[in-house]
Amino acid sequence: MDFTLSEERKMLQETVGKFFNSNYKNLDKRSENVNLPEGYSKEFWKESSDLGVLSALVSPKFGGLGGSGEDISIIFELVGKSLCVEPFLSSAVLSSTVLSSISNPRIDLITDIIEGNLLMSFAHCEMNNRYEDHYIETNAYLKNDEWNINGTKSFVMNGDDASKIIVSARINGDINDRDGIGLFLVDNDQTLKRPYNTIDGYRSTELTFENLKGELLAKDENALKCIIKANSAGALALSAEALGIMQICFDLTLDYLKTRKQFGKSIGAFQSIQHRMVDMMLEIEQVKSAVMLASSTFETDDLTRDKNISAAKNLVGRVGKLIAEETIQLHGGIAMTWEYSAAHYAKRLIMIDHLMGDSDYHRDRFKLLSNF
Amino acid sequence: MVIKMNFEYSEKDENFRKEVKDWLNETLPKSLSEKVKKYQRLTKEDYEIFMNNLTAKGWLAWHWPKEYGGTGWNAIEKHIFEEEIIKASAPRIVPFGVNMLGPVLIEFGTEEQKNYYLPRILSNEDWWAQGYSEPGAGSDLASLKTTAIDKGDHYLVNGQKTWTTLGHHADKIFCLVKTDLNAKPQLGISFLLIDMDTPGVEVKPIITLDGEHEVNEVWFTNVKVPKKNIVGKENEGWTYAKYLLTFERTGIAGVPYSKSALNHLKMISKRSLKNGKPLIDDPIFSSEIAELEIDLLAMEIFNLRTVSAAAEGKAPGMESSLLKIKGTLVRQKTTELLRKALGPQALPYLPEQFDEGWNEMPVGPSYAGPIAKQYFNMRKISIYGGSNEIQKNIVAKASFGL
């Protein structure tokens, strides 16, 4: 048994951690990035690529230098600690996972992604498909040997700035069928876009397609497998991101308990508050354990991978709510302000439960995969 | 290029696990494990059968170093051993002599004490009890009031101990007593070994809310205790008591207990009916089970992380307290869901069914009988061994710098 990181990984963690820290020194810097036209810093994104952060998210089989569950977790824990708004998830995890999982992997595109020359996003969510892998209304039909896609995709992360999009669309069957799904590669310049910011500081977009021409990447069983794998990889990344955020929330709160004085003493001197901090600490250890387990089985069979990722994401949803709410409550009024960082960490932590499956979704998936 | 984190046991550990398993298979009487499975009352002899087997194998003193007749196992081996004996439904190893007093004597006892007591613990000749808690000293243990007055060649002991687990079987008891009445609470305490046969020692049963007799009151009225029965120095007993309490406890989270309870819960939830369908098909109930299972899964990894660090020589600090808190909450939750799974079948209370040889028809399914009783009994685990509130105080004090 060995629960420690290898030397290479420790180095990765240290280098990337320093780099993120120096670029995301404080909340003002983040706000600056959020308010850029693309909703993130292209400069920071390019530097991330140069430093190898993006290639650390992709397996050597597909042109990267990492791509294991541990690599994803290490990077995203740091993304969480700095609250980075760059498109690590949409482009480097979701899109590259699909591109590497299709029958003929598109190493050309993956290489462009990790070199920072191409931004892609994965358009799977729709207004009505909640977190489902297979419930798809957008459709595609073949005419004169060309695929035509019609429909609207929702909550497409960085869908305004991405130049290529992977779209899931129904090629036959009913909306709720697990079969009959296709994955298409489309150019984003022909789509109708409605970009907006999310409440936690990220950029998202509604994309509408009218007879948009697309290249078929995968269909039927292979397409569904790719969607499930991308969503699982995303859920793992978000779980690790949440773990990083939780640690920061805990540290900020503990600092505040030492600083803030009421009734003539620091509020941390009160036992009722100390006990709540222990509850937080304990639950963060639980999340850390679940993320470690999910990371270590990311490259095993699909069933084990998805079961452990669902366990982690369910726990993250439950504990995330505890940590976010306690962080705000124990800070008191100050955490209600826009200018204080804890509020932004808490917001992201809560909204992570609204991405790639919430705690209910993953609890149900865990049940299904555990043969309840 | 990349070395992965490894969550698997080594081949050596797996071989060890097989050795323990095989040994339990060969030596643990089926009748005994059946009694444990059915939550039947265990006699003194039942415990002794298992512990004598362990003695014969050389595995009783699993926390002791080799030179004292212990196993010298590392934390992972201890963890595996404990997991397997729980999985096999063996009786618990009564911990007071071998796991509690033994390590204290090895660390602080005189040569004479070690030579006399340790072999008797190893051979199960002495059954020890723990005399810590008093009616007025629970979480605030240092406020204890039992006194031992120096009378030249002996101490004269007066006072009362309580919650003495299995004290009705005990030959001897190790006690915390006040030897300096004027010192600050922690400073005037000594660690004293007392023979239960001494005139003035009286054991009175406490019947717990589940109707069972497991714990006792022990009264001391003018009990003469030879001065050589003191462990370490007079008035420094608090240090030894703390040593005992912080003694490495790999199994503090009770993961294997919760795992087997969870399996039992799933089995019962498949057999219990709701609207004519298995209860486990009820989405709300099965969701409670699923989140419990996820908590347990995470805790198992947390526990293994701690065990693995302990095997590398890193003494667990606040991890023990955190695992104690989570472990008791998870285990209590399993007993709560078991109780709920039964519905009204949890009501019948037939205390005689927990006696060996009872062969009447139970009311309802045979597994229903002990469930509610177990639920009430398990309320104790978040209270004893330092209540969960005390554990939180310990963590806050040790790690927050507040």
Q: In this predicted model, what pLDDT tens digit does every residue of B69-123 receive, in sequence order?
A: 999 998 899 999 999 999 999 999 999 999 999 999 999 999 999 999 999 999 9
Tell me: do B272 and B390 sit in the same domain: yes
Which of 6-45 (A) contact B at CB < 8 A? 6, 8-9
Domain count, chain B: 3
Give the pLDDT confidence score for residue B311 in this predicted structure.
84
Question: Residue B313 domain-assigned?
Answer: yes
Structure-token pair, residue B79: 């963890």
Is residue B306 over pLDDT 70? yes
Residues B259 and B206 in one domain: no
Please answer yes or no on whether A292 and B5 come within 8 Å at the CB atom.
yes
**Interval B48-56 mean pLDDT:** 97
In sequence order, the 6+-apart residues with CB closer than 8 A to the CB of B239 are B232
Is residue B316's pLDDT more than 80? no
Backbone φ and ψ for B261, nearest 5 degrees, come out as -65, -35
Structural tokens at position A272: 């009722």
A257, A286, A318: residue with CB nearest B326: A286
Is the model's pLDDT at B151 over the cut of 70?
yes
Q: Which of A214, A235, A217 is nearest to A226 (CA)?
A: A217
Q: Which of residues 294-323 of A touch B (CB under 8 A)?
A: 295-296, 308, 311, 314-315, 318
pLDDT of B358 reads 86
DSSP 8-state secondary structure symbol assigned to residue B162: -
Q: How much is the average pLDDT of B248-265?
A: 88
Complex ipTM tops 0.85: yes
Determine how many CB atoms are found less than 10 A away from the CB of residue A23. Answer: 18
Q: Over chain B, what is the mean pLDDT?
A: 93
Domain closes at, from B201, B224, B246: B246
Residues B327 and B357 in one domain: yes
Is there a contact between A278 and B322 if contact means CB atoms under 8 Å apart? yes
pLDDT at residue B247, rounded to an integer: 63
> pLDDT of A141-184, one tens digit each?
999 999 999 999 999 999 999 999 999 999 999 999 999 999 99
Q: Cβ contacts (< 8 Å) between B317 and chain A: which residues?
A: none
| Local structure of residue B278 (DSSP, 8 states) | E
Q: Residue B348 belongs to a domain with what CATH number?
A: 1.20.140.10
Q: Give the CA distances from residue B88 to residues A84, B38, B92, in Å, rounded to whole numbers and listed in that order.
A: 50, 13, 11
Which amino acid appears at position B270 of this protein? K
Q: pLDDT tens digits, residue range A23-46?
A: 998 888 999 999 999 999 999 999
Domain-located, residue B182: yes
* B118 within 8 A of B149, measured Cβ to Cβ: no
> Which residues lie closer than 8 Å to A241 by C-beta, 6 or more apart?
A76, A77, A79, A80, A348, A352
Q: For residues A85 and A290, give the distance between their C-alpha atoms in angstroms, rounded to a whole number.
A: 25
Pick from B246, B281, B315: which residue ends a domain?
A: B246
Determine the 3-state secondary structure of A230 from DSSP. helix
Classify residue B23 as exposed, middle or buried by CB count within 10 Å of its CB (0-12, 13-18, 19+): middle
> At how many degrees (to 10) do helices A302-331 and A271-296 cross?
160
Same domain (yes/no): B143, B221: yes
pLDDT in tens, A307-357: 999 999 999 999 999 999 999 999 999 999 999 999 999 999 999 999 999
Phi then psi for residue B237, to 5 deg, are -60, -25
**What does the pLDDT read at residue B2?**
38
Q: What is the mean pLDDT of chain A?
A: 96
Q: Which domain holds residue B41?
A: 11-93
Q: Say yes or no to pLDDT of A274 above 60.
A: yes
A210 residue type, one letter: E
Residues B241 and B260 reside in one and the same domain: no
pLDDT for the residue numbered B17: 97
From B246, B266, B292, give the residue that closes a domain: B246
Nearest to B80 by CA among B10, B130, B4: B10
Is B140 a domain residue? yes
Same domain, residue pair B216 and B284: no
Residues B186 and B150 in one domain: yes
Q: Which residues of B touch A4 (CB under 8 A)?
A: 5
Cα separation of A219 and B183, whole Å? 81
> B326 and B235, same structural domain?
no
Concatenated DSSP letters of B157-212: EEEEE---TTGGG-SEEEEEEES-TTS-GGGGEEEEEEETTSTTEEEEEEE-TTS-
Q: Are B319 and B368 in contact (CB under 8 A)?
A: no
Same-domain pairing of B288 and B390: yes
Q: Cβ separation of B290 and A372 shorter than 8 Å?
A: yes
Q: Has residue B114 been placed in a domain? A: no
Whether B382 and B264 map to the same domain: the answer is: yes
Confidence category of residue B248, pLDDT binned at 50, 70, 90: low
N-terminal to C-terminal alpha carbon distance within chain B: 43
Tell me what percent of the residues of chain B surpass a pLDDT of 70: 98
pLDDT band for position A250 (50/70/90)? very high
The answer for residues whose C-beta is within 8 angstroms of residue A368's C-beta and 6 or more apart is none
Spatial separation of the C-alpha atoms in residues A51 and A226, rounded to whole Å: 28
Question: Which of B227, B311, B244 lies closest to B103, judged by CA?
Answer: B244
Q: Confidence band (pLDDT; 50, 70, 90) for B173?
A: very high
Regarding whether B335 and B239 lie in a shared domain, the answer is no
In chain A, the N- to C-terminal Cα span, in Å, equals: 29
In a domain, B121, yes or no: no
- Is residue B157 assigned to a domain? yes
- Cα separation of B324 and B391, whole Å? 8
Is B298 close to A318, i.e. CB distance below 8 A? no
Helix (H, G, I), strand (E, B) or coil at A86: coil
* Domain co-membership, B164 together with B235: yes
The answer to whether residue B123 sits within a structural domain is: no
Provide the CB-side half-sphere exposure for A106 (13 A, CA). 20
Of A288, A287, A280, A286, the C-alpha closest to A257 is A280
The pLDDT of residue A110 is above 70 = yes
How many whole angstroms from its chain centre is CA B88? Answer: 17
Domains of chain A plus CATH, in order, are: 7-114 (1.10.540.10), 120-220 (2.40.110.10), 225-369 (1.20.140.10)
* Residues B298, A281: C-beta atoms closer than 8 Å: no
Residue B197's CATH number: 2.40.110.10
Judge whether residue B3 has pLDDT over 60.
Answer: no
Indicate the SS3 state at residue B176.
strand
Token representation of residue B228: 């050589």
Hey, are the CB atoms on B293 and A318 less than 8 Å from each other?
A: no
Residue B359 has pLDDT above 90, yes or no: no
Q: Is residue B4 predicted with pLDDT exceeding 70?
A: no
Judging contacts by C-beta atoms under 8 Å, the chain B residues touching residue A279 are 392
CB B54 within 8 Å of CB B92: no
Sign, CA dihedral B340-B345-B350-B356, equals negative
Question: Is B305–A3 a contact, with Cβ atoms under 8 angstroms apart?
Answer: yes
Is the residue at B169 inside a domain? yes
d(CA A106, CA A98): 9
Q: Give the per-residue pLDDT at B250.
A: 65
